[in-house]
Amino acid sequence: MRQINYIVAHCTATSQTATVESIKNYWQNTLGWRNPGYNYIVEPDGRITQLQPDDKIANGVRGENHHSVHVAYIGGIDTQGNAIDNRTVAQKTSLKSLIIELQAKYPLAKVQGHRDFPGVAKACPCFDAREEYREL
């Protein structure tokens, strides 16, 4: 098992009508990735899909993937493509539960957003993950 130092929160930077399959298709056919961008993805109804086992690397944050588990919610942009925290109540609930579960598995891992890594110029996950999950 690889050492996990980070549990990283993401948004998909898509509308909330995007599907898990369309996101996977984008990674494979447009970006040419062999591995998915996240280990877990949360749909607007709160359903969690595991895309990659925790012991396998996902392409979430360049240079940080070997020691990170990545969780994302579908959404993160408005109709004009601007960054927005548009998580549904169900997504907020599922993300929190998933992060609690991952913290139990990886108690030394820091929880933070994609945007919190040095050199990242993205709004992802469009909310302050360090603050939101600080008390967990």
Strands (E), the chain: 6-11, 40-42, 48-50, 68-73, 110-113
Q: What is the dihedral of CA 81, 84, 88, 91, to 10 degrees?
A: 100
Say whether pLDDT at 1 is over 80.
Answer: no
Digit-coded pLDDT (tens) for 4-63: 999 999 999 999 999 999 999 999 999 999 999 999 999 999 999 999 999 999 999 999
CATH number for the domain harbouring residue 91: 3.40.80.10
Task: Note the pLDDT of residue 136.
Answer: 85
Greatest alpha-carbon pair distance for the chain in Å reads 41
What confidence tier does 90 reach under pLDDT thresholds 50, 70, 90? very high
Q: Identify whether 90 is part of a domain.
A: yes
Residue 101 lies in domain = 6-132
| Residue 66, in any domain of the structure | yes
Whether 1 is in a domain gets the answer no
Alpha-carbon distance of 56 to 34, in angstroms, equals 12
